[in-house]
Amino acid sequence: MNRVTSVDGPAVPPQPPAGAVPPPGAANGAVAAPGTTSPAGWPTDVTAAYPPPYPVPEPDRFTRFVVRLYDRSPRWAVPLAALGCVALGIAYTLISDPTRSDPTAAPSCILKLTTGLDCPGCGGTRALWYVVHGDLPAAARHHFVFVFALPFLAYLFVAWAGRQAFGWRLPELRISNKMIGGFMVAWLAFSVLRNLPWTPFTSLYV
């Protein structure tokens, strides 16, 4: 019985099946040319049994431009761009004022438009509007999960942006896979409960 001594291969080279004809010159210790096979069909070169390495494609012009722009940009450019996107989202929420939408208007959510049910994100924009205005109870009434997650998301963003732009070393917020899974389960439960037609769940429907 052959004993395996490493992950690279067995300690004793595998033997061809009984009756297989050895390649020419094998009895004299000669090595066959790479890629050749024996009369029995066994490859004489082990590497010939494996496909060639996958060639790495060359990046296109746009990818090279983005990589070059990223390499030449200052360290604070990416956090500033991310902060600008957040500011644009908040500005849009303040200008549109989702709390004053016409009750008879068609909902923008496709799920609610077609089924009348709240989707997992319904009420998030209105919750953000109330958070910006300091009305946390109203924000939690429209989307409790969003209000709960907002401080954690804000801290993660500040820690990342500060490290990228200024080299800050804020205490790391360790979030395990179990915590993420628990949050997703809680979000799913909230999305189901808010659509139930019984009190007190009807107060969560938006």
| Nearest-angstrom CA–CA distance, 30 and 44 | 11
b/e map 48-78, b = 16+ CB within 10 Å: eeeeeeeeeeeeeeeeeeeeeeeeeeeeeee
Confidence of residue 167 (pLDDT cuts 50, 70, 90): confident
Query: Which backbone phi and psi does 193 adopt, to 5 degrees?
Result: -65, -35
Indicate if the pLDDT at residue 6 is higher than 70.
Answer: no
| Nearest-angstrom CA–CA distance, 69 and 100 | 42
Indicate if the pLDDT at residue 145 is higher than 70.
Answer: yes
What DSSP designation does 26 have? G
- Asked if 98 and 123 count as a contact pair (C-beta separation under 8 A), the reply is no
Convert the pLDDT of each residue in 55-102 to its tens digit. Answer: 778 888 899 888 888 888 888 888 999 999 999 999 999 998 888 876
Cross-strand pairs, 6: 9
Higher pLDDT, 23 or 99: 99
**Cα angle: 173, vertex 131, 147; to 5 degrees:** 45
Higher pLDDT, 33 or 110: 110
| Nearest-angstrom CA–CA distance, 152 and 145 | 12
Q: What is the mean pLDDT of the chain?
A: 80
Confidence of residue 17 (pLDDT cuts 50, 70, 90): low
